[in-house]
Homo-oligomer: A and B are copies of this chain.
């Protein structure tokens, strides 16, 4: 695997130069005031990226999976019922975690490739007259299938059912790449990590809690210590941490938020959209189909691409890695061997994306798939040139 090629896995992403340098810090005394000067701006930055005015933000030396555990253990008790749609590997894993923690998970099975069905959420909640369901868990962006779900619709469904359950959203592969509105959607717990939209190395779970979710921490009986946000809350008030913080990553997170906010969140999202549109144009030019069944489900951070029946999609990933030194994502779970994935989140240029498309193209042609060399690239180029044509004309 060449260190010179960009990676096109759906996270961890390519890390911008300045962020690598911000993370590569010499040791400081994490009990000194300097640490507070790193931590608090990082927290404030995350809050803005979440589009929240006052979410409580906590940062753990962990991963998104640890964020899931933080979400449920701080708010729920053994035996509590939760409602969740399973439409891919990552929603499946969160369901599995809930079950292992003794929760009663009411699963809405959804074909992989589709988003969360708000109508079925509403139906299930409306039927839950006794409010046994304590939380609705939603995977905003199913990284396994490249499917974006409509969280605003989930919230509307909950409101329509007048149900008091908490809304917990896995935004691991959406926050910082696609629109996420903590306050606008009345999210109660948002979960993300360092290594996706924040463009950092892996190593941080980042969570946001609403006041309603915070209030649950006193009642939640699921056992926890490492992930107990009450310890974090107390420590933060003293510029401290309940244990040793990952100072370098938090320093990098601080910078990452600055970068995202300086570019402007809507510009960041538009950039992801443009890059992803290029990939989707290439897929169409190749005569292939997206795993996401409808355009409304298309994710701007990762594309899962179906290969023809009988063809092993994983061989594309292997070929690209071994022959061209480039990393793409394999299909997971139900769609293993049926899709391969192109990650296109974080800090990417059009030129980088074109190198990914060109390499996927070579790998597929190498393996006998019927497509024309340069076809996907040309389709993506057209997308990338379009928004700039006007500018060029103006400058001329």
Q: Which residues of A contact B (CB under 8 A)?
A: 1-7, 9, 11-18, 20-21, 23-32, 34, 61-66, 68-69, 73, 78, 96-97, 100-102, 193, 195, 201-203, 222-228, 242-249, 319, 321, 323-327, 329-330, 347-352, 354-356, 358-359, 361-362, 365-367, 372-375, 377-379, 381-382, 384-385, 388-389, 391-392
Question: Is B62 touching A226 in the complex (CB atoms < 8 A)?
Answer: yes
Select one of B102, B202, B319 contacting A61, CB under 8 A.
Answer: B202
Question: How many Å lie between the Cα of A377 and that of B374 in the bound state?
Answer: 6
Q: Distance (Å) between the CB of A165 and the closest chain B CB?
A: 21
Q: Which residues of B contact A324 (CB under 8 A)?
A: 349-351
Q: Which residues of B contact A242 (CB under 8 A)?
A: 65
Q: Max chain B CB contacts within 10 Å: which of A28, A62, A73, A245?
A: A62
Q: Which residues of B contact A96 (CB under 8 A)?
A: 225
Question: Is A244 touching B26 in the complex (CB atoms < 8 A)?
Answer: no
Select one of B2, B18, B28, B329 contacting A349, CB under 8 A.
Answer: B2
Q: Distance (Å) between the CB of A279 and the closest chain B CB?
A: 14
Question: How many Å lie between the Cα of A203 and that of B244 in the bound state?
Answer: 8
Q: Which residues of B contact A17 (CB under 8 A)?
A: 3-4, 26
Question: How many Å lie between the Cα of A18 and that of B3 in the bound state?
Answer: 9
Question: How many Å lie between the Cα of A195 and that of B227 in the bound state?
Answer: 20
Select one of B15, B227, B375 contacting A27, CB under 8 A.
Answer: B15
Question: Is A26 touching B11 in the complex (CB atoms < 8 A)?
Answer: no
14 A–B contact pairs at CB < 8 A? A1-B32, A3-B26, A7-B28, A17-B26, A61-B61, A61-B66, A64-B244, A201-B248, A202-B247, A203-B249, A324-B349, A351-B355, A366-B392, A377-B378
Question: How many Å lie between the Cα of A241 and that of B219 in the bound state?
Answer: 33
Question: Is B14 touching A4 in the complex (CB atoms < 8 A)?
Answer: yes
Q: In this complex, what residue of B is CB-closest to A224?
A: B100
Q: Distance (Å) between the CB of A60 and the closest chain B CB?
A: 8
Question: Is B351 touching A5 in the complex (CB atoms < 8 A)?
Answer: yes
